[in-house]
Amino acid sequence: MKGKPPLIDALTFAEAKAEHVRLADEIAKHDRAYYQEDAPTISDADYDALRQRYADLESAFPELVTPDSLTQTVGAAPSEKFAKIRHKVPMLSLGNVFSDEEVSEFGARVRRFLGLAKDAPLDVTAEPKIDGLSCSLRYEGGALMQAATRGDGFEGEDVTANVLTVKEIPHRLRGSVPEILEVRGEIYMTHSDFSALNERQAAIGKPLFANPRNAAAGSLRQLDSSITASRPLHFFAYAWGEVSDMPADTQLDMIAAFEAYGLPVNPLTVLCHSAEDLLKFYHGIEDRRASLGYDIDGVVYKVNSLALQERLGFVSRAPRWATAHKFPAQQAVTVLRGIDIQVGRTGALTPVARLDPVTVGGVVVSNATLHNEDEIARKDIRLGDTVIVQRAGDVIPQIVSVVLGKRPKDAEPYEFPQTCPVCGSAAIREIDSKTGTADVVRRCTGRLVCAAQAVEGLKHFVSRNALDIEGLGEKQIEQFFAEGLIKTAADIFRLEERDKHSLQRLKNREGYGETSVRNLFAAIEARRQVPVNRFIYALGIRHVGETNARRLARHFGTFEALRATAQRALEGSEARAEINNIEGIGDVVAESIADFFQEKHNESVLDALLAYVTPLPMEEIVSASPIAGKTVVFTGALERMTRDEAKAQAERLGAKVAASVSKKTDLVVAGPGAGSKLAKAQELGIETIDEETWLIRAAGAGD
């Protein structure tokens, strides 16, 4: 805020009136920025102060109160953002390929997984990859009931009111439609509508949108749906979620069915029979890219048969049966001004290039990743160098190479720091005990004393796929950490209690207001119960990402069971073997889990945290099945599916797949040639079935 405003008692009526008018304008401007542009330009506290001053003027001079005074009208919009909607079927993302070879590899991988011959026919659809935002539309009895954004893939925002204003999206579907039909697709803005919108924005002095995707997102995520209605948005349907009764058995026919229902679908979608067909489509679209009238960032390939899609399933968050073939990166030339070293959650020192700002494919770039010290040495990147930067899709920009002809004469080779720039501890490259080679990443050894590692760990803890605490983002964590308010994860849950007794209350601070503090405490309170897989992931154990966290949650069921085993998991112990034996978890991960739980400091941090947080049963992607929770071992040859496929299928049905037979095994699926594992199963009296029986059970379980 600029200076202190004069005391109200000292104002004349005329001065008060002038200030009242000025404040009304200013508040209205901030309301628009906040509610309509999704881009507030002042802090909540400053905003609250403006409102307070406005109200104080009216108390002192009641004549200022008129029916259209801001104190008499209801707030522009609810301050809560959108309600959350849980997706019945998760909205996943896509894997990427960039080269022609990788496209052939995609087909080869699919065939391998399905156990098909290298040259077996495989139909794959190809379609443009729209650069917009994905949206799920739920139709019941043919009527549009609900629309949600993708969000984190599991939970999105309820944007029904806004989607109802998109002209192209039918409120009612035509013909005979499944009772429940969740249509998924992309909401986007055309180039011409985007330019026209920015011209209108410029004419009324509003900020411009960076690109059509931001404009589409900003328009859809409006609290006032009349604003969405005024922005021309379009939609292409390309996928689905829950469907009560599938109208077709191929990708192409599903899209044809959508079209028959009256939904917009992309007319460029084609069916291909070979990798050559796919590449021909890709290069054809690449040539037409500029004249399509909307932004695309590549093409998407999808296995056409839905039966095969089902068999292929998903790995982590992306389907095995589809991939995106992205357009190549765009490049530009600029100058490297500095190299900053960032310290991550696991102590990794990451060099970041500071560049003279340059536009690369429509986006201004001023930072680029330099990966690690070997990369800098290999490319011999020096301060002051003229460099080529490139950007592909949403990937962080990279430095491709140095323009040697423009190197300043006095430029010295870059010396990578040997100590942590944050805590000063030695930074080392760990030597792999098996291979004897040094890790490419240099890490700070200061673990518990390093503030950077602590802060990054906290940011990870509250991040979207971890505890997902709204209103507690990276910025706030940094601020609270710097002030000593949050030092460990448990402190987050003590924030409200402490605040009550603090002289410097949060609500009185720059950047906060009564409402934002209330919302923050509510968001923290809401996370006192979280699915155990999220909780495990949130701990930031090295090598334990979302997939491994799910594996651990699935295997152990409860956090206490994991903890008890991991604490005993010394090298060579039975407990270590149990962790190691979980499918997908190898020596390195098992060791890192054991290390984490055996570390004394982590013990006390966990105890403190568990006093506040209750891990709930895991959030399963699949509903419970009779196979769920069972430990299955596959042994011998499988004839109807590959080993990978069998594993994936079992996991999809909620089973744990183990590599060896033990007392904990519930079921052994044995094919021809099964040997010692089968013998052991029989010795232990474990149920043993053949592949055929397994397939029948699996089919039943999936219903």
Q: 9: buried, middle or exposed (CB in 10 Å: 19+, 13-18, 0-12)?
A: exposed
Which CB, 48 or 186, lies closer to ligand IVH? 186
Nearer to ligand IVH, 45 or 114 (CB): 114
When the beta carbons of 90 and 471 are compared against ligand IVH, the nearer one is 90
Amino acid letter, residue 218 = G
Task: List Cβ neighbours of 396 (8 Å cut-off, separation of 6 or more).
Answer: 367, 368, 369
Structure tokens, 287: 């040539």
Q: Is 191 helix (H, G, I), strand (E, B) or coil?
A: helix
Which residues contact residue 399 at a Cβ distance below 8 angstroms, ignoring those fewer than 6 apart?
336, 353, 368, 370, 379, 381, 387, 388, 389
CB of 166 vs ligand IVH, minimal distance in Å: 16
Contact positions toward ligand IVH, by CB under 6 A? Answer: 92-94, 127, 129-130, 134, 150, 186, 238-239, 300, 319, 322, 324
Inter-CA distances, 340 with 372, 399, 445, Å: 12, 14, 19
Q: Which is nearer to ligand IVH, 250 or 688 (CB)?
A: 250
In angstroms, what is the minimal distance from the CB of 625 to ligand IVH? 21
Rounded (10°) angle between helices 451-462 and 474-482? 140
Beta bridge partners of 356: none
Strands 614-616 and 529-531: parallel
Provide the CA 693 distance to its chain's centre, in angstroms. 38
Candidates 20, 117, 133, 114; CA nearest to 70 is 20
Tell me whether residue 238 or residue 597 sits nearer to ligand IVH (CB atom). 238
SS (H, E, C) 111-180: HHHHCCCCCCCCCEEEEEEECCEEEEEEEECCEEEEEEECCCCCEEEECHHHHCCCCCCCCECCCCCCCE
**Residue with Cβ nearer ligand IVH (150 or 554):** 150
| 548: three-class secondary structure by DSSP | helix
Q: Which residue is nearest to ligand IVH (CB)?
A: 134
Give me the least distance between CB of 153 and ligand IVH, in Å please.
Answer: 8
Nearer to ligand IVH, 311 or 442 (CB): 311
Strand partners, 130: 296
| Rounded least distance, CB 285 to ligand IVH, Å | 11
**Count of residues making up the chain:** 703
Which lies closer to ligand IVH via its Cβ, residue 235 or residue 634? 235
Nearer to ligand IVH, 301 or 512 (CB): 301
Residue 265 near residue 237, CB atoms below 8 Å: yes
CB of 321 vs ligand IVH, minimal distance in Å: 8
* 3-state percent breakdown (helix, strand, coil) of the chain, nearest 5: 40, 20, 40
* Cβ(665)–Cβ(680) below 8 Å: no
Question: Any idea which residues carry the catalytic annotation?
Answer: 129
Least separation in angstroms between residue 386's CB and ligand IVH is 33
- d(C-alpha 13, C-alpha 8), whole Å: 10
Nearest CB to ligand IVH, comparing residues 154 and 535? 154
Q: Which of 474, 513, 508, 477 is nearest to 495 (CA)?
A: 477
Pairing of strands 318-319, 314-315: antiparallel
Measured from the CB of residue 50, what is the shortest distance to ligand IVH in angstroms? 39
| CB 621 to ligand IVH: min, Å | 13
- At residue 50, φ and ψ (nearest 5 deg) are -65, -45
Indicate if the alpha-carbon torsion angle 4, 9, 10, 15 is positive or negative. Answer: positive
**Shortest CB 129 distance to ligand IVH, Å:** 4
Residues 328, 333, 334, 339, CA torsion sign = positive
Joined tokens for residue 578: 């149990």
Question: For residues 329 and 695, which CB has a smaller minimum distance to ligand IVH in the complex?
Answer: 329
The answer to whether 237 and 185 have CB atoms below 8 angstroms apart is yes
Nearest distance from C-beta of residue 87 to ligand IVH, angstroms: 12
3-class secondary-structure state, position 430? coil
DSSP per-residue codes, 378-422: HHT--TT-EEEEEE-TTSPPEEEEE-GGG--TTPPPPPPPSB-TT
CB of 325 to ligand IVH, least distance (A): 11
Distance between CA 17 and CA 57 in Å, rounded? 8
**CA 96 to CA 92: how far, in whole Å?**
13
